Amino acid sequence: MAAVRRKPRLAVWKFASCDGCQLTLLDCEDELLAVAEALDIAYFPEATRAAVKGCYDLSLVEGSITTTHDAERIQDVRRRSRALITIGACATSGGIQALRNFADVREYAQVVYARPDYIHSLATSTAIADHVPVDFELRGCPINKRQLVEVISAFLVGRRPVTPAHSVCIECKLRGNVCVTVAHGTPCLGPVTHAGCDAICPSYDRGCYGCYGPMESPNAPALSAKLGELGMGQRDLTRIYRTFNAGSPAFRKESERNGP
Partner 1 sequence: MVRKTIKVNYLARVEGEGAFKVVVRDGVVESAELSIFEPPRFFEALLRGRAYSEAPDITARICGICPVAYQMSSVHAMEQALGVQVTGPLRDLRRLLYCGEWIESHTLHVYMLHAPDFLGYEGAIDMARDHGDAVRRGLALKKAGNEILTLLGGREIHPINVRVGGFYRVPTRRELQPLAEKMKWARDAALETVRWVASFDFPDNERDYELVALSHPDEYPFNEGRIVSNRGLDITSDAYDLHFEESHVERSTALHSRLRERGAYLVGPLARYSLNFSRLSPMAQQAAREAGLGIVCANPYRSIIVRAVEALYACDEALRIIDAYQPPDQPAVQIEPRAGVGCAATEAPRGLLYHRYRLEADGSIAEARIVPPTSQNQASIEADLASFVGQWLDLPDDQLRHRCEQTVRNYDPCISCSTHFLRLELDRG
x/- mask, partner 1, residues 119-148, rule CB under 8 A, reads xxx---x---------------xx--x---
The yes or no reply on residue 53 touching partner 1 (CB under 8 A) is no
Cβ-based nearer residue to partner 1, 73 or 219: 73
Q: Report the alpha-carbon distance of residue 211 to residue 213 in Å, rounded.
A: 5
List 166, 175, 184, 206, residue binding partner 1 (CB under 8 A) = 206
φ, ψ for residue 258, nearest 5 deg: -95, -15
Beta bridge partners of 14: 62
CB of 200 to partner 1, least distance (A): 4
Q: Report the alpha-carbon distance of residue 88 to residue 230 in Å, rounded.
A: 30
The yes or no reply on residue 105 touching partner 1 (CB under 8 A) is yes
The yes or no reply on residue 48 touching partner 1 (CB under 8 A) is yes
The yes or no reply on residue 21 touching partner 1 (CB under 8 A) is yes
Q: Buried b / exposed e across 71-80, counting CB within 10 Å, b at 16+?
A: beebeebbeb
Task: Count interface residues toward partner 1 (CB under 8 A).
Answer: 67
Cβ-based nearer residue to partner 1, 2 or 37: 37
CB of 248 to partner 1, least distance (A): 16
| E-assigned strand segments in 101-213 | 136-138
DSSP 3-state assignment of 244? coil
Q: Report the alpha-carbon distance of residue 51 to residue 186 in Å, rounded.
A: 48
List 72, 76, 205, 216, residue binding partner 1 (CB under 8 A) = 205
170 within 8 A of 197, measured Cβ to Cβ: no
223 within 8 A of 216, measured Cβ to Cβ: no
Binding site for partner 1 (CB under 8 A): 14-24, 26-27, 29-30, 32-33, 36, 41, 44-51, 66-67, 69-70, 95-97, 99-100, 103, 105, 107-109, 111-115, 118-121, 125, 141-142, 145, 197, 200-201, 203-206, 209, 211, 236, 239, 243-244
